[in-house]
Structure 1
Amino acid sequence: MTALNKYEKLECLGLWRESLQGKRREVIANLGATSLILSDQKSDVALSHWSLPAVRRLNPGQLPAVFGPSSDDTETLEIDDSDMIAALETVHAAISAARPHPGRLRNSVLGLVAVGVLAVGVFWLPDALVQHTASFVPASTRADIGQQALTDLTRITGQPCTGAGGTAALDKLSARLFGPDSAVGIVVIRSGLKQARSLPGRIVVLPEALIAEQDGPEAAAGFALAARVAAEQTDPMIAMLHHMGIPATFRLLTSGALPEGAMTGYAETLIANPPAPAADSALLPKFEAAGLATAPYATARDPSGDTTRLLIEADPFANVVPPALMPDGDWVALQDICTQ
C-alpha cells in the first residue's frame, strides 16, 4: 500500500447519499488500509464501507468531488477535503497503472472480476483481508453463515437432537447463561465433537456426551459459556474464512454472500483444529456474572486438574451455593434430548 502511506488515518466530513432517491446525509469518511468507511457523525456507527479498488470519481475536475463505489451513481459521497480527494485519486491511479488493458477490462464483467482479484493480491495480505471481512459481516449474514456451517457439520455428526422437552430446556439454559435477549442458540449433537464449539451467528454446539456423562447441568453449561467466551476472544468467522480461501472471502466482502460450495469440508477442519480454551482470567468473571460455578466445568475439562487449577481454586461459588441452573425436570428432559 505504498500509495497510501502518507494518508494513514485520514478522515473528513462528507455528504453521503444511499440511493438516487435518498437524501444527502452528513457522514465521517475514514480512509482505512483497504476500504473507505462511512460513519454517522453523531453515533459513529458505520453506515457503509467501500472497497478502495472499486471507488471511482464520478465528476473529474469538479468540486465538490463526487465518488461512488462503482461506475454508476446510485450511492455517492460528496467531499471537498483536498487531502481525501488526493488520497482517493492516488489509489485509483495506482490501480489503473497496474491494469494491463484498462479499456477491455472496463467493458467486460469478467475483466472487472479479474481487476478485483488483482487488487486483492496487490493491496491485501490474506490475513488482513480475512480480518477486514470478518469485522464487517453483519449479524444477519453471520447467522446465515453459521447455519450453513452447522449444516455442513451434520454430515459428520448427524442431525441435531430435537427432543421437545430438551430443546425447551436448552432455550431456558441459554437465557440463564447469556441473557434473554442474547439470541445465543445451543445445539446438541450425538457424536463427532469432544468439546463445545462456537459457530458464527452465536451458535454453540454441545456434544451429547457432555450432558449424558454428568450428574448435573453445571459442567455442560460451563462448556457452553466457555465456548462463547472463546468466540469473543477469537472470532470463529476468521478460521472459517481461512478455510474457504481468498476468492470466497473477497466475494463475501463485496457481495455479502458466499459462493456455492464455499463451506464444503469445513466440518473436517472444525473437528481437526479445536480452538484454544479461553483464558482463565476471562472465564472467571463471566462464570460469576452468570451465577455459575467454575469447578464442575474445570473438573470435566481436565479430571486431573493440572490445567484448570486456577478455575477450581478461584471458583467464585466455592463457599456459596449459586442459584439453580434449571429445575430437575428440565435437566432430565435435557439428558433425554437425543433419545426422543
Structure 2
Amino acid sequence: MTALTEYDRLEASGLWRADPGAQRVDVIVSIGDATLTLSDMAERALAHWSLAAVHRLNPGQRPAEYAPSEDPEETEHLEIADEDMIAAIERVRKAIARRRPRSGRLRFALTATVALVLLLLAVTWLPGALTRQTAALLPPETRAAVGQQLFTRIQTIAGAPCETPRGRAALNRLGTRVLGPDAPRLHVLQDGVDGAEHLPGRIILLDAALIESHDEPDAAAGYLLAEALRATRTDPMQALLDRAGLWATMRMLTTGTLSDAVLDAHARHLLTTPQEELRPTALLPLFEAARIRSTPYAFAVDASGERTLPLIEADPVPVAVAEPLLPDDDWVSLQSICGT
C-alpha cells in the first residue's frame, strides 16, 4: 500500500447495509493490503470487500457511497463521511485502475498487429502468389497470343525474323529432331538474341550466328535443348508477369491482355539480360537422350572450353558414332535462311 504511506490512521466510521431491506449499521472501515474490512463496534468482521472491485456509487458527492462491485444486483451498501478515508479509498482505486489492462489499447494493439501482418503479406506474398496463380490459369491460346504479341514487340528492336521457304522447312525439321514432334515454334533472328531465348506460347528464338558461323547444326541443337530446359524451370509467362507487377497481372487475369508498354519493357529485358547458366549435370542427360553431341554446344558457349569443360569431357555421343542431325541440303538451306 505504498500509495497510502502518508496516512497515520486507516480506519474510519461508516454506515453499512447488508441488503436494501436491512437496517443500516454503524461499522468501522479499515483498509488492508487487498481488502476493505467492515467491522462492528465489538471489532467483529461483518464483511470483506476486495479493493480491486470496490465501486463508487456517487462520484464527487459527500458522504461517499460504495458497493463491493459494479454488479447492478449488488445488495451491500457503504456510506463514509470521513475525508481521509474517502481520499485513501479513492487513491487505492485509482492506483488499481492504472494497473488494469486497457481493453481499448489491447484491441488497438491487436488490430494494428493484424493489419501489419496483412500488409506484409500483401507486399511480400500476394504478388508472387497472384502471378503464379494467374500463369497457371491461362489457357494455351492466351499464352500463344501473348507470346506472339511479345515477339512482335521484339521485332521492333531486333528486326524481322529470317525466313525462306526452304530454310523454314529445314528449321522445323531441326526442331523436330531435337525436341520431338511437339517442338516449339522456332524463329531465327539476325540481331538482338544472344544464343537463344524462349517466350510464352512455346516460342524459341535463335541467334542466326549459331547457324551461319558453324559447320554443323549441333551447336544450335544444344541451344535448343538448353532453352527447353530453362522453359521447364521458369515458366516464361510467370517470368513476364513477375516483371510486369501486380496491376499488370490483375489486368492479365481479368482481361487476358497486357499493355504494349509492359511488353516493350519485357522485350528489352530479354534481349539485354544474360541467360541463366545451366549446370552440366542437368544438360548432359538431355544430350544423351536426344543422341546429340554436347561438345559443339560447349565451344559455342565458351570458345576456350574452360567454363564448359565437363560438357566436353563427358560428351555422351562420341564423334565416331554421331549421326548428322540434318541432311546436307537441309543444313545448306538453313544456313541460307537469312539470305546470306
Per-residue deviation, residues 191-226 of structure 1 (Å, max 9, x unmatched): 112221111111110011111111111101111221
Aligned to 1:338: 338
How far apart are 1:278 and its partner, in Å?
2.7
Give the 3 Å change call, closer, same or farther, for CA 255–187 of structure 1 in structure 2. Answer: same
Aligned to 2:177: 176
Question: Contact (CA 8 Å) 1:294, 1:316: kept in 2 or not?
Answer: yes
Question: Contact (CA 8 Å) 1:233, 1:278: kept in 2 or not?
Answer: no
Find the residue that maps to 2:188 and give its secondary structure: strand
How far apart are 1:234 and its partner, in Å?
1.6
Partners of 1:156 and 1:261 lie apart in 2 by 14
Aligned to 2:283: 283
Per-residue deviation, residues 95-120 of structure 1 (Å, max 9, x unmatched): xxx9xxxxxxxxxxxxxxxxxxx9x9
Partners of 2:184 and 2:245 lie apart in 1 by 27
Alignment of 1:1-340 (within 5 A): 121=122, 124-180=125-181, 182-259=182-259, 261-318=261-318, 320-339=320-339
In structure 1, what residue type is equivalent to 2:277? P
Structure 2 unaligned segments of length 5 or more: list them: 1-114
Give the 3 Å change call, closer, same or farther, for CA 329–128 of structure 1 in structure 2. Answer: same
Give the 3 Å change call, closer, same or farther, for CA 136–278 of structure 1 in structure 2. Answer: farther
Per-residue deviation, residues 218-276 of structure 1 (Å, max 9, x unmatched): 10111122111111112222321123221111122233333454312322111222330
Give the 3 Å change call, closer, same or farther, for CA 157–300 of structure 1 in structure 2. Answer: same
Question: Contact (CA 8 Å) 2:189, 2:208: kept in 1 or not?
Answer: yes
Partners of 1:335 and 1:122 lie apart in 2 by 49
How far apart are 1:289 and its partner, in Å?
1.4
In structure 2, what residue type is equivalent to 1:322? A
Percent identity between matched residues is 46
Question: Contact (CA 8 Å) 2:154, 2:264: kept in 1 or not?
Answer: no
Per-residue deviation, residues 23-73 of structure 1 (Å, max 9, x unmatched): xxxxxxxxxxxxxxxxxxxxxxxxxxxxxxxxxxxxxxxxxxxxxxxxxxx
TM norm structure 2: 0.61
Partners of 2:152 and 2:292 lie apart in 1 by 31
Per-residue deviation, residues 165-185 of structure 1 (Å, max 9, x unmatched): 1110011011111111x1411
Find the residue that maps to 1:161 and give its secondary structure: coil
Find the residue that maps to 2:263 and give its secondary structure: coil
Partners of 1:299 and 1:218 lie apart in 2 by 11
Partners of 1:255 and 1:193 lie apart in 2 by 30
Aligned to 2:14: none
Question: Contact (CA 8 Å) 2:198, 2:227: kept in 1 or not?
Answer: yes
In structure 2, what residue type is equivalent to 1:336? S
Find the residue that maps to 1:187 and give its secondary structure: strand
Structure 1 unaligned segments of length 5 or more: list them: 1-97, 99-117
Question: Contact (CA 8 Å) 1:287, 1:293: kept in 2 or not?
Answer: yes
TM norm structure 1: 0.61
Per-residue deviation, residues 132-162 of structure 1 (Å, max 9, x unmatched): 2222222221111111111111111100011
Partners of 2:280 and 2:236 lie apart in 1 by 19
Q: How many residues align?
A: 225
Find the residue that maps to 1:222 and give its secondary structure: helix
Partners of 2:329 and 2:313 lie apart in 1 by 31
